[in-house]
Structures are given as structure tokens and as C-alpha cells.
């Protein structure tokens, strides 16, 4: 029997916790450096968008230098785990990316 494994990464950021953006950026960079997971699609959820204090996804993307990622597909999706907003869109992107890699 042939075994296939589907790999992807999901990273959840608290968009309202600006104090931790720097730490978050370092953690994400380490995650992306992980050799074994190179080329694996990565979805970044910019969570807690229901809060007025939340930084917009575009600002987070810029702060984390996401546009410098070249070795894998990536997507940042604003969402709220509280209201459910954006979760489906994010998961759709993951499914699409995983499928496009299989071809």
C-alpha cells in the first residue's frame, strides 16, 4: 500500500498583541528555516480581528517580511476564532495549495 502524507503549516498570530510581534517574527522565521519542512505551504492566521486593537493582516505581513518568503507558498488570512470569520477562507487556501503541490 502506498502511503502519502500531506504536509502544511498553520501559524496563528494574536493580531492584538503588538508587544509580541517581534518574538512572533523570530519564532516564525525559525519555523520557516526548518529544513524538513521546506517547500511546505504555510498559512498564517492573523487572529482576533474582532478586536478594535487588532493590527490589520497587511501590517503584520509587512512587519514579518512575509514577502521575502521564496521557497514555499504562503498566505496570510485575517480571522477571528471567536466569530469564525476568515477560518473557512484560510482552510480553503490550504486545501488548494496542498492539491496544487501534488500535481
Ligand X SMILES: Nc1nc2c(ncn2[C@@H]2O[C@H](COP(=O)(O)OP(=O)(O)OP(=O)(O)O)[C@@H](O)[C@H]2O)c(=O)[nH]1
End-to-end CA distance of the chain: 20
Residue whose C-alpha is closest to residue 89's, from 75, 72, 103: 75
Q: Of 9-38, which residues contact ligand X (CB under 6 A)?
A: none
Q: How far is CA 26 from CA 64, 95, 96, in A?
A: 9, 27, 27
Task: Establish if 87 lies at the interface with ligand X (CB under 6 A).
Answer: no
**Please, which residues have CB within 8 angstroms of residue 23's CB and are 6 or more apart in sequence?**
none
- Binds ligand X (CB under 6 A): choice among 7, 31, 82, 95: 82
Give the span between the Cα atoms of 8 and 42, in whole angstroms. Answer: 6
**Interacting stretch for ligand X, rule CB under 6 A, among 27-35, 38-46, 74-82, 94-102?**
74-82
Kindly state whether residue 48 participates in binding ligand X, applying the rule CB under 6 A.
yes
Kindly tell me which residue out of 50, 72, 87, 98 binds ligand X, with binding defined by CB under 6 A: 50
> What is the total count of residues that contact ligand X (CB under 6 A)?
7
Residues of this chain that interact with ligand X (CB under 6 A) are 47-48, 50-51, 80-82
Annotated binding site: 47-50
Annotated binding site for GTP: 47-50
Amino acid at each position: 500500500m502506498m502511503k502519502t502524507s500531506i504536509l502544511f503549516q498553520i501559524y496563528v498570530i494574536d493580531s492584538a498583541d503588538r508587544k509580541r510581534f517581534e518574538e512572533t517574527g523570530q519564532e516564525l522565521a525559525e519555523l520557516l528555516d526548518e529544513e524538513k519542512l521546506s517547500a511546505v505551504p504555510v498559512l498564517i492566521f492573523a487572529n482576533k480581528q474582532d478586536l478594535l486593537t487588532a493590527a490589520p493582516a497587511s501590517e503584520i505581513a509587512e512587519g514579518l517580511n512575509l514577502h521575502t518568503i521564496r521557497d514555499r507558498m504562503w498566505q496570510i488570512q485575517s480571522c477571528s476564532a471567536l466569530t469564525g470569520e476568515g477560518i473557512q477562507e484560510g482552510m480553503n487556501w490550504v486545501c488548494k495549495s496542498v492539491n496544487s503541490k501534488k500535481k
